[in-house]
Amino acid sequence: MAKELCVLAYSGGLDTSVAIRWIAENYDVDVIAVAVDVGEEKDYEGIRKKGEQVGAVEAIVVDAVDEFYDDHILPALAANLMYEGKYPAFTALARPLLAKHQVRIAQEKGATYVAHGCTGKGNDQVRFETTYQALAPELKCIAPAREWGMSREEAIDYAEKHDIPVPVGKDSPYSTDTNLWGRSIECGLIEDPSVEAPEDAWEWTVSPLEAPEQPTYVKIAFERGAPMALDGKQMPGPQLVSTLNQIGGANGVGRVNMMENRLVGIKSRELYETPAATILLAAHKDLESLVLDRETMHFKPYLEMRYAELVYYGLWFTPLREAIDAFMAETQKTVTGEVTVKLYKGTAEPVARTSPYSLYDFGLASYGEADSFDASKAEGFIDIWALPARVTNAVRRKMEQ
Ligand code: ARG
């Protein structure tokens, strides 16, 4: 009789490789390994082969780079997505997409189980499983790394016993997660927040100390909130983002070092490298400040904060997330134009912007000859504006006597 199937989210790393074997053994099922490409530049064919070699009955690679860009990064940019003001939430953005493809394949193959390699202490388990439950509550979930209780050393022993290749040589002391929108670095020396992060944690960015002495300028063209061209050259979004990761990284841009509040209640010290996200978010916000009316601009950040929480908390497949996306999309109708960003030793500063929808009126703003603002009207405006302040303060003074 054919065994039941389990579809595992597979990265090719030690933990999920051990998981293939561990799940097959402990649940007596056949494991299908699924690796989803969301823009981490690695050898996916090699990962696929490794999945089968370590015991998966089938290993599948899904190219989801464009989908990640179109359906996750662009809405995040429209919402200026930044969790706790610092983290562009790239891991949180990708997890629902990984889980969605896993669920799709599980349904196509008639699997009973889905599985992920997350530990019991992080946010990622919540994001995977919330998506499973939203999209396919009938699937049962296996979380080996939460269940097996193995230390890293024990996992390595287990791997060696079962002929699972253990990465040697440059065995990173850190735990990392990478996609098109950023790279996270955790564990090891980073766990002591009272100590500055070691330089070897950074891979995408040079130290600002070593960045060029001269600034680099990049000009980004947006259409309805979406980046379309870099320095006058049209290019597909994912290519634009990875190009900016290179240029930004070479200028030391995009290093994030923060204390973060996890959904599971733990405070953690996090390092992120997000050159493209840092540059694009700065440029996008800057363009919005040129084209959005004051009231929209002052209101939008409230929803941006809620949006960041929803994404971080794994609530991607929820009505509120969709409703906020619809609001954001409405605000992006005029976010078209060009922004020049100056990259210099770790900073990314928008220094010039233009838009056909610009609300800037030179005649109104200028103190020079072109002045077209009728300042005499200001007097009456201020009289009425100040009325409540005049009345309340007069009463207060009387009461104090
Ligand atoms: N703290 C970040 C988050 O919760 C990054 C998590 C990185 N995940 C990982 N499996 N290494 O989104």
Q: pLDDT tens string for the chain (401 positions)?
A: 799 999 999 999 999 999 999 999 999 999 999 999 999 999 999 999 999 999 999 999 999 999 999 999 999 999 999 999 999 999 999 999 999 999 999 999 999 999 999 999 999 999 999 999 999 999 999 999 999 988 888 999 999 999 999 876 545 789 899 999 999 999 889 999 999 999 999 999 999 999 999 999 999 999 999 999 999 999 999 999 999 999 999 999 999 999 999 999 999 999 999 999 999 999 999 999 999 999 999 999 999 999 999 999 999 999 999 999 999 999 999 999 999 999 999 999 999 999 999 999 988 988 888 888 888 999 999 999 999 999 999 999 999 99
| Catalytic residue of the set 11, 15, 21, 353 | 15
What gap in Å lies between CA 93 and CA 72, rounded to an integer? 6
- Report CA(177)–ligand 1 centroid distance (Å): 7
What gap in Å lies between CA 338 and CA 223, rounded to an integer? 9
pLDDT of res. 144: 96
Q: What ligand 1 atom has the least distance to the C-alpha of 90? A: 12
Q: Is 40 in the pocket of ligand 1 (CB under 6 A)?
A: no
| Catalytic residue of the set 21, 30, 48, 95 | 95
Q: What ligand 1 atom has the least distance to the C-alpha of 177? A: 11
- Sorted by where each starts, the structural domains of the chain and their CATH numbers stand as 5-173 (3.40.50.620), 178-354 (3.90.1260.10)
Please identify which residue in the block is written with the tokens 């994001």: 127
pLDDT of res. 40: 96
Nearest residue (by CA) to ligand 1, atom 7, is 177
Structure tokens at 266: 């733990």
Q: What pTM was computed for the model?
A: 0.96
Secondary structure string (H, E, C) spanning the chain: CCCCEEEEECCCCHHHHHHHHHHHHHHCCEEEEEEEECCCCCCHHHHHHHHHHCCCCEEEEEECHHHHHHHHHHHHHHCCCCECCCECCHHHHHHHHHHHHHHHHHHHHCCCEEECCCCCCCCHHHHHHHHHHHHCCCCEEECHHHHCCCCHHHHHHHHHHCCCCCCCCCCCCCEEEEECCEEEEECHHHHCCCCCCCHHHCCCCCCHHHCCCCCEEEEEEEECCEEEEECCEECCHHHHHHHHHHHHHHCCCCEEEEEEECCCCCEEEEEEECHHHHHHHHHHHHHHHHHCCHHHHHHHHHHHHHHHHHHHCCCCCCHHHHHHHHHHHHHHHHCCEEEEEEEECCEEEEEEEECCCCCCCHHHHCCCCCCCCCCHHHHHHHHHHCHHHHHHHHHHHHHHC
| Catalytic residue of the set 30, 124, 286, 325 | 124
Ligand 1 probe mutation, 124, 185, 191, 264, most atoms within 8 A of CB: 124
Ligand 1 probe mutation, 116, 186, 260, 272, most atoms within 8 A of CB: 186
Nearest residue (by CA) to ligand 1, atom 4, is 123
Catalytic site residue 15?
yes
Asked whether 179 and 73 are in contact (CB, 8 A), the reply is no
Q: Is 270 in the pocket of ligand 1 (CB under 6 A)?
A: yes
pLDDT of res. 277: 99
Written as one letter, the residue type at 32 is I
Q: What ligand 1 atom has the least distance to the C-alpha of 176? A: 11
Q: How many CA atoms lie within 13 A of 326 on its CB side?
A: 6
- Report CA(305)–ligand 1 centroid distance (Å): 19
Q: What ligand 1 atom has the least distance to the C-alpha of 272? A: 5
Ligand 1 probe mutation, 36, 91, 146, most atoms within 8 A of CB: 91
Q: Is 175 in the pocket of ligand 1 (CB under 6 A)?
A: yes
Phi, psi of 306 (to 5 degrees): -65, -40
pLDDT of res. 300: 98
Q: Is 84 in the pocket of ligand 1 (CB under 6 A)?
A: no
Catalytic site residue 124?
yes
Nearest residue (by CA) to ligand 1, atom 10, is 177
What gap in Å lies between CA 7 and CA 307, rounded to an integer? 30
Asked whether 17 and 164 are in contact (CB, 8 A), the reply is yes
- Report CA(381)–ligand 1 centroid distance (Å): 52
- 341-358 in b/e form (b: 16+ CB < 10 A) is bebbbbbbebeebebeee
